[in-house]
């Protein structure tokens, strides 16, 4: 599973990364994390609000930081 974090690298982006990694570990998933900070790449991906999270290239979170529990439910479905 590929988790892509889109954002500038701000505190919210870092928290989203931490929460996503925590959720994936709890579920026992094999995953890799990619961080995209380039504004043009973020725009090209269709992201309107950061931070954002894509799972295997599908955008699942945009403009907010869900808890690790919320992300666990999202990744487990």
Is 0.85 topped by the overall pTM? yes
Which one of 1.10.10.350, 3.30.450.40, 3.30.200.20, 3.40.30.10 gives the CATH number of domain 2-76? 3.40.30.10
Tens of pLDDT, residue by residue over 17-35, are 999 999 999 999 999 999 9
CA-to-CA distance for 9 and 74, rounded, in angstroms? 23
Identify the segments of the chain with pLDDT beneath 50.
none
pLDDT at 62: 97
pLDDT at 34: 97
Yes or no: say if 46 and 37 are a contact pair by the CB < 8 Å rule. no
pLDDT at 77: 75
Q: 2 φ, ψ to 5°?
A: -110, 125
- Exposed (0-12), middle (13-18) or buried (19+): which is 53, by Cβ within 10 Å? buried
Q: Which residues are catalytic?
A: 10, 13
């Amino acid at each position: 599973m590929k988790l892509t974090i889109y954002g500038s690298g701000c505190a919210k982006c870092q928290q989203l990364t931490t929460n996503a990694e925590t959720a994936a570990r709890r579920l026992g998933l094999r995953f890799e994390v990619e961080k995209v900070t380039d504004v043009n790449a973020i725009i090209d991906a269709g992201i309107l609000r950061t931070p954002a999270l894509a799972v295997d290239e599908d955008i699942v979170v945009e403009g907010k930081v869900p808890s690790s529990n919320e992300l666990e439910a999202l990744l487990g479905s």
